[in-house]
Amino acid sequence: MLLSSLAVLSGFMLLVWGADRFVEGAAATARNMDISPLVIGLTIVGFGTSAPEMLISAMSAWDENPGIAVGNALGSNIANMGLVLGATALIKPLQVHSGTLQREYPIMFIAMIFALLVILDGNLGFLDGLALMAGLSLVLYWMVRMGRRELNGLDPMAAEFEAELPPEMSTGKALLWLAVGLAILLISSRMVVWGATDIARTFGISDLVIGLTIIAIGTSLPELAASIMSAIKGEHDIAIGNVIGSNIFNILGVLGISGIIFPHAIDINVLSRDFPVMIGLSIALFAMAYGFRKPGSLNRIEGALLLTVYIGYLSVLGLNSGSPV
């Protein structure tokens, strides 16, 4: 038990470090190829923040523990909206001016509805996984096209992304950090999956609940830190943009990988409990922060509501699991 807990804790720390190195190397490589900061932020940074979830999903599916993969995908999205944005807005109210973000909101919601339709029959099969990954590919293509169109549109998020890009470095060094980051991500994701699975078996908690709680919160901590720091520095569009981008990658990429590697039946609670909570939070976030014909915003009261819903959701999971989460 002690070894399992240490594996999870140290795995999460390595995941954060590895993801940072991966994003730093990938972003620097892309910048050396003259790719715009907005395109880098929308695609490479978005993918990098979801890399821990994707690799944990792949590892858990490979080990035939699909509950962790599915729980991680949905739990991370729920944590992103309830915990990350709720806590961030509570600390620093957010103002959203980016037109790019206003176009990403509907894409996130469509991705969630598409994923729901794919698993509505109670199964996540190989073809379902391919469909979700194809959807992710289409979203990436759309993001690149949109990022290029906004080059001359003075989207405020472009300047925020440019300010957050890592210092210039040679392509060789960037590729080295990219490889090191990926290697650390692979090792640390294996540690997290092994430790979390052992903890679940020790306490008799389902893999799904472990994925929805311990692993989801752990993989959302980098988004929480990044969003709070971005908000404090006045980069409000990035604070929300990181969450929206991460949610899109999670629901399409993380679920897609799980279905491709290990087709499986979906726990009934996913459809009756977790998906409704995720979609409900998405609708609430849209209503609060979209900004109809004016800049969007997320104030402290709205942040407190999101955080309260998340705490309530964790309480329900704890009661239903039969053991403390």
On average, the pLDDT of the chain sits at: 84
Pairing of strands 264-265, 94-96: unpaired
Question: CA-CA distances (angstroms) from residue 167 to 31, 107, 158, 233?
Answer: 10, 31, 16, 18
Which pLDDT tens digit goes with each residue over 144-187?
Answer: 777 666 555 556 556 656 666 666 788 888 889 888 988 888 89
Residue type, 208: L
Residue 277, pLDDT score: 96
Three-class secondary structure assignment of the chain:
CHHHHHHHHHHHHHHHHHHHHHHHHHHHHHHHCCCCHHHHHHHHHHHHHHHHHHHHHHHHHHCCCHHHHHHHHHHHHHHHHHHHHHHHHHHCCEEECCHHHHHHHHHHHHHHHHHHHHHCCCEECHHHHHHHHHHHHHHHHHHHHHHHHHHHCCCHHHHHHHHHCCCCCCHHHHHHHHHHHHHHHHHHHHHHHHHHHHHHHHHCCCHHHHHHHHHHHHHHHHHHHHHHHHHHCCCHHHHHHHHHHHHHHHHHHHHHHHHHHCCEECCHHHHHHHHHHHHHHHHHHHHHHCCCCCCEEECHHHHHHHHHHHHHHHHHHHHHHCCCC
Angle between helices 66-79 and 275-289 (to 10 degrees): 20
Which pLDDT tens digit goes with each residue over 262-289?
Answer: 999 999 999 999 999 999 999 988 888 7
Residue type, 311: I
Alpha-carbon distance 130 to 225, whole Å? Answer: 32
Domain boundaries, the chain: 2-321
Residue 161, pLDDT score: 62
CB 216 within 8 A of CB 251: no
Residue type, 320: N
CB 182 within 8 A of CB 1: no
CB 87 within 8 A of CB 297: no
CB 166 within 8 A of CB 30: no
User: Which of 24-28, 36-40, 126-130, 188-192 comes out lowest in average pLDDT?
Assistant: 36-40
pTM, entire model: 0.85
Residue 316, pLDDT score: 93
Q: Token pair for residue 11?
A: 């795995």
| In the predicted structure, residue 325 carries a pLDDT above the cut 60 | no
Q: Which superfamily does 2-321 belong to?
A: NCX, central ion-binding region (1.20.1420.30)
Other Cβ atoms within 10 Å of 315 Cβ, number? 11
Query: Residue 310: pLDDT band by 50, 70, 90 thresholds?
Result: very high
Residue 323, pLDDT score: 43
Cα-based angle 64, 65, 70 (whole degrees, multiple of 5): 125
Which pLDDT tens digit goes with each residue over 47-79?
Answer: 777 788 888 888 899 988 889 999 999 999 999
Residue 324, pLDDT score: 40
Residue 255, pLDDT score: 94
**Across 233-255, average pLDDT:** 84
